[in-house]
Amino acid sequence: MKVAPNTVVSIEYVLRVEGEIVDSTPEGERILFLHGEGHVLPPGLEDSLSGREVGSFRVTLAPDEAVGEYDPGKVFTAKRGDFPGDAKVGVGEEFYFEDEGETPVAAKIISVDGDDITLDSNPELAGKTLEYEGIVHDVRAATDEEVEHGHVHGEGGVEH
Ligand code: ZN
């Protein structure tokens, strides 16, 4: 059976960026997902598995197929006073800000220069080419109930 919308797929994978492992399914564990729902796997991976059968896979996703290009417009400066008084304001710390549409956006501090704090709200892997290597362990048709609920039932899925 091929991976397609409304199939339940179990996989394991390793994600490399520039040769370094940045993400993987836990050792010996598999991820189970309902294909087409798009909220279990990282962006781009689910689509790239369409049409595959049980077996190993290797997928390379360009930035625009994955989390998007790096946007220098998402780097901005704030003042120390913009942060809560008890906040630890240091490089690498992450905060939530509201954008113009009042949507909370995660931003990481990339530099601190006196009172000027520079933050970057690009996703971690923006602008990166993602190299996935993994195994499709199982593909089966989703039940009508799973399709209706939008998630996998049974072992490794939602029990209810
Ligand atoms: Zn359910």
Say if residue 110 is in the same domain as residue 77: yes
Residue 64: CB atoms within 10 Å: 10
Local confidence band at 31 (pLDDT 50, 70, 90 cut-offs): very high
Please, how many CA atoms are within 13 Å of residue 110, restricted to the half-sphere of its CB?
13
CA-to-CA distance for 108 and 127, rounded, in angstroms?
16
How close is the Cα of 51 to the center of ligand 1, in Å? 25
CATH code of residue 105: 2.40.10.330
- Residue 156 pLDDT: 84
How close is the Cα of 141 to the center of ligand 1, in Å? 15
- State the first-to-last Cα distance of the chain, in angstroms, to the nearest integer: 27
How close is the Cα of 150 to the center of ligand 1, in Å? 7
Local confidence band at 98 (pLDDT 50, 70, 90 cut-offs): confident
For residue range 116-144, list pLDDT tens digits in order: 999 999 988 999 999 999 999 999 999 99
- The pTM assigned to this predicted structure is 0.79
Local confidence band at 103 (pLDDT 50, 70, 90 cut-offs): confident
- Please give the tally of structural domains in the chain: 2
- Residue 16 pLDDT: 97
How close is the Cα of 143 to the center of ligand 1, in Å? 10
Least Cα distance to 97 among 113, 84, 110 occurs for 84
Q: Is residue 102 part of a domain?
A: yes
Say if residue 11 is in the same domain as residue 27: yes
List, in order, residues 6 or more apart from 120 with CB less than 8 Å away.
74, 75, 107, 108, 110
How close is the Cα of 24 to the center of ligand 1, in Å? 26
The secondary structure element, H or E, covering residue 147 is helix 144-149
Q: Is residue 92 part of a domain?
A: yes
How close is the Cα of 29 to the center of ligand 1, in Å? 22
- Residue 119 pLDDT: 95
What domain range includes position 38?
Answer: 7-67+126-149
How close is the Cα of 119 to the center of ligand 1, in Å? 40
Residue 100 has pLDDT above 80, yes or no: no
For residues 32-39, average pLDDT: 88
How close is the Cα of 152 to the center of ligand 1, in Å? 7
Q: Is residue 82 part of a domain?
A: yes
